[in-house]
Amino acid sequence: MTLTSCYRLVRRLALLSAAAALLFALPQSPLMVHAQSAVQAAPVQGASPPPAQSPQATAAPSIDPQQPKSLTAKAIDKVKQVARSASNIFNRVPCLPPKGVAKKSFISLPHVASKLADGKPVIIVAFGSSSTQGWGSTAPEFTYPNRLAAQLRRQYSAAQISVINAGVGGEDAPEMTKRLQSAVIDQHPDLVIWQVGTNAVLRNLDPSETAKLVDDGVAKMQAAGSDVVLVDLQYSPRVIERPESASKMIKALDRIAELHHVGIFPRFEVMRDWHERQDIPISDFVISDGLHMNDWGYACFAQLLGDDIIRSVGAVKIGVNAPADVPHYRQM
């Protein structure tokens, strides 16, 4: 089954699920009574149309003024929750999380969680090179930062969330650190998602030198009050043809994340899982240049990253600093 057919199937199932949820979520509420009446009154194909009714007969049932306000509020909240769930389903691609890969704790995001809990605006900077900028996507809305922004805004509908795309194609740590102050720190972000290392491998840069620059950059971001998540290399033909260099870079980024207690999204292992364990052809998520992701690849990447962020924030909100149920997909 192709990804397109899977996506169509997911959308059909989501539509049916959302309709059923909206119909049966509030069995005792006036909204449910009105919905049941509408279903019962729906004309059967080929039957004579029902006689016209007066405005009084078709008016929506009023809510009993003696009914407790808390019950009405709960009913409205339930409808909003179901609608939001349906929206999330419609906007997700058919994308499975990695399977068969060891899980460890994903670092928590205290600054982001605190802002969301207090209802304050949240600023996220997506810092990186071409795969952050969005090379390979067919439209700006399909880049990973924009996909991530849409997902987080659906999840936290009352929050003002800004995601700044600070990706510049062709760069790696040497160029990025030169614009770290203006592109990142001066934006006063609550979270920085730093995608780094791929171009260093392609340019045969010394992994240890790259690691020093990334280490210094992460320290500066933390000193400025930002949560940090590193994103490592993409699993694509032009990268995997340099296995030794790629392995050294991934291990260096892992060490930096562990040293600074920051998050890391192991994009290399996630993408490898798509191909090796989920049997998805590389050409289904990497474009013809053998390096950059396509729309589906960016969507799944953003989706899994967003899921991690949401779980991490939820854990921090209830007082858990390092949630054990949030995946950090790294092989043992």
pLDDT at 30 (0 to 100)? 30
pTM, entire model = 0.71
Q: What is the pLDDT of residue 52?
A: 37
* Residue 248 CA to its chain's centroid (Å): 27
The CA angle 97-94-311, to the nearest 5 degrees, is: 40
Cβ–Cβ under 8 Å, residues 227 and 240: no
Assess if CATH 3.40.225.10 describes domain 110-317. no
pLDDT in the model for residue 69: 54
Tens-binned pLDDT, residue by residue, of the chain (332 aa): 555 455 455 445 444 444 444 333 333 333 332 333 333 333 333 333 333 333 333 333 343 444 455 666 656 555 555 444 444 545 677 788 776 554 544 567 999 998 988 889 999 999 999 999 999 999 999 999 999 999 999 999 999 999 999 999 999 999 999 999 999 999 999 999 999 999 999 999 999 999 999 999 999 999 999 999 999 999 999 999 999 999 999 999 999 999 999 999 999 999 999 999 999 999 999 999 999 999 999 999 999 999 999 988 888 777 655 443 334 433 32
Contact assessment for residue 315 and residue 307, using Cβ atoms and an 8 Å cutoff: no
Rounded Cα distance between 285 and 30, Å, is 47
pLDDT for the residue 62? 40
Domain ranges of the chain: 3-42+67-91, 110-317
Helix/strand/coil (H/E/C) assignment for every residue in 162-230: EEEEEECCCCCHHHHHHCHHHHCHHHCCCEEEEECCHHHHHCCCCHHHHHHHHHHHHHHHHHCCCEEEE
pLDDT given for residue 70 in this prediction: 66
pLDDT of residue 11: 47
Contacts of 145 (CB under 8 A, 6+ apart): 124, 126, 132, 134, 163, 164, 165, 167, 193, 302
Q: Between the CA atoms of 268, 233, 138 and 5, what dihedral angle is there, to the nearest 10 degrees?
A: 0
H or E element at residue 304: helix 295-317
For residue 265, give the DSSP letter: E
Which pLDDT does position 247 carry in this prediction?
97
